[in-house]
Structure 1
Amino acid sequence: MYYADMSEYRLQLTSDDEGLSFLAIGWLDEAYPFTTGPTPVEFQERLLEHCIRGVHEPTLGFHTCQFCEPQGFTSDGRSIITKTWVHYKGKRFFIDNGEIWIPDGNITYSAPVMIYHYVTVHHYRPPEVFINAVLRCPLPYEEEYLAFVRSLKEPFNTDLFDFYRDSETHNYSELY
């Protein structure tokens, strides 16, 4: 799903609730060009922490990268797409499902978990304000970030989905 960087992104669980309003970052699509360039290593490291340890709104499906080449084709000509994964603390995790929320003052940015892949593999360079927000943002397991999550209205103030923690008991990293 494409959203232009810095455009309004509204998350609504039902048509009756007013939802939460964010600024979209990294909701890329092959039909739209995106800015490329280097990003600071510290930004990439903190972004990975959010993409593994602070996932919001995971769904039952998954997203494949439109920018990666297919890994082959089936006998009837369909593309074989591999899932997007990373290594983190000695484990392999898929990062193709859910989004991260980066609070920065009175603004909250929403990015797909795939943003880490886009940054490190396809050299996507998010807007500077987002890079700086990630560098300032507490990590998702720190109390300041958890307080941000608790401050959200129902039902958005639920526990974070932590692939690293949850894989120990539920093996979410090997679902696919």
Structure 2
Amino acid sequence: MAYFDDLSPYAYKPRARDWGRTVLSVGWLDAAHEYRTGPTSDDFRSALLRRCTKDKYRIGQTRGFHQCNLPPCDKREFWPPILVATTEGEILLGSAEIRVEAKNGVVFAAPTLIYHYVIEHGYQPPDDFIEAISR
């Protein structure tokens, strides 16, 4: 998976609808780089799960998927991919992205694995992203 610093200009797979907008990267983590950790609210985690698993929010769907390389996931077998249970069944993470618009018009681009990072690794996204997801 690609790594990008939080709040750096998004450059992974620019989309036509992103043109002319400020799009910032969030949650593109890699084991070789430190990341912010800390608590997140239940409301935020629920809203993030909804964004990462509902088809209407997922974009850039690929045929392949990225795995988490953060410890202890780096010891996992490549298969099965990271799945999350929802009321609609299990959903694959790591094969799509989400976009979240802040009040000021800035757009955040995140991999769907961000949900796994928050839940399993205690990742705490930037406050502006948390606010945008939670509204």
CA gap of 1:126–1:12, structure 2 versus 1, over 3 A, is closer
**TM-score for the superposition, normalised by structure 2:** 0.85
Q: Contact (CA 8 Å) 2:102, 2:128: kept in 1 or not?
A: no
User: Larger Rg: 1 or 2?
Assistant: 1
Structure 1 counterpart of 2:68: 65
RCO higher in structure (CA 8 A, sep ≥6): 2
CA distance in structure 2 between the aligned counterparts of 1:24 and 1:12, rounded to whole angstroms: 11
Structure 2 counterpart of 1:147: none
Distance apart, 1:127 and its partner CA: 0.8
For residues 35-80 of structure 1, give each alpha carbon's deviation from its aligned partner in whole angstroms, at most 9, with x where no partner exists. 1111011000000000011101111210011011424xxxxxxxx2
Q: Does 1:55 align with 2:58?
A: yes
CA distance in structure 2 between the aligned counterparts of 1:124 and 1:134, rounded to whole angstroms: 15
For residues 7-156 of structure 1, the aligned pairs below 5 Å read 7-10=8-11, 11-12=13-14, 20=19, 21-53=22-54, 54-67=57-70, 68-71=73-76, 80-81=77-78, 82-89=80-87, 91-105=89-103, 106-136=105-135
For structure 1, list consecutive stretches of 5 or more residues without a partner in the other structure: 72-79, 137-176
- Aligned residues, how many? 125
SS at match of 1:8: coil
SS at match of 2:58: coil
CA distance in structure 1 between the aligned counterparts of 2:18 and 2:119, rounded to whole angstroms: 31
For residues 14-52 of structure 1, give each alpha carbon's deviation from its aligned partner in whole angstroms, at most 9, with x where no partner exists. xxx795341100001111000111101100000000001
**Alignment RMSD (CA, Å):** 1.8
Residue 56 of structure 1 aligns with an amino acid whose one-letter code is: I
SS at match of 1:118: helix
